[in-house]
Amino acid sequence: MDNFLMARLKGVPKARVYNILRKGEVRVNKGRIKPDYRLQAGDLVRIPPVRVAQRPAVGKPSDQLMRTLESSVLFENDGLLVINKPPDLAVHGGSGVSLGLIEVLRSMRPDAHYLELVHRLDRGTSGCIMVAKKRSFLRHLQAALRHKRGVRKVYQALVLGQWPAQRQRVDAPLLKLESNNGKERIVKVHPEGKASLTEFRILHAYTDYTLVEARPLTGRTHQIRVHAQSAGHSLAGDEKYGDDEANERLRKLGVRRLFLHAAELAFELPGESELTVVRAPLSEDLAVALKALN
């Protein structure tokens, strides 16, 4: 239900959508429903009058940014793009960001009739992200992500301290909270949270840090960051869940953002049974920081 509303109430803040749901102002077949209600064919949905904010005009991306994205295409066929997203680029506009990855791609390819994000990455995270060029690909890949089959995500992260070799999995429920009037999301390990599982593997041990591979087997908000923090090894450069003093030391070594990179995506394309594997090289700023650690 929440996804249905957000797709139709463009410009309405997410917090407002959940507010009208909590208050019972949205009715299905004359009855109150929860945000996770699954709509059925023939349902009658009543939505209260809501004010839709005018979307600001999307600015024109710079030629440099468009060249950067064009050179960042890792995979493309008639239904899908996989981009090596640069750091500090939001995946879409909004919340003070006028221009995101999807707006830049649409500006670069004005003849493309359909370009939609399959999934998301945080603004500070670099690496592999899928953009559907056909609705059929979007539905296929989002269903695979939802049912946790046919898609594999692999990240590289630098964590504080020496990650223990025997700590190969973090299995801890995560609860998402909203603060600052719904404008900020905070996630924490909590028994009432949703089941969450991440696999970790050591790639390289430094004196005071460890480069790890992280495979989230569930898709919770900030999952890798919070699971690493709960294990006592926050991610380098993490201003929300990390160590401020350690982050200040790391800035002197060149780590000026969250050290988290979507290094690999594997997925089954529609009509295929074998996985297509796409890898994104570590972004230059993170690669330089690792050399400094060496």
Q: Tell me the two tokens of residue 240.
A: 């929300």
Active site residues: 122
- Residue 214's identity, in one-letter code, is A
Note the maximum CA span of the chain.
64
Cα separation, 230 vs 263, in Å, equals 23
Distance CA 74, CA 92 (A): 19
Q: Please say whether the beta carbons of 218 and 194 come within 8 A.
A: yes
Q: In degrees rounded to 5, what are phi and psi of residue 193?
A: -80, 180
DSSP, collapsed to helix, strand or coil, labels residue 122 as coil
- Cα distance between the two ends of the chain: 50
Q: Which residues contact 107 (CB under 8 A, 6 or more apart)?
A: 58, 60, 61, 66
Cβ atoms 55, 39 nearer than 8 A: no
Residue with tokens 């909270």: 177
Buried b (16+ CB within 10 A) or exposed e, 76-113: eeebbbbbbbbbebbbebeeeeebbbbbbbbbeeeeee
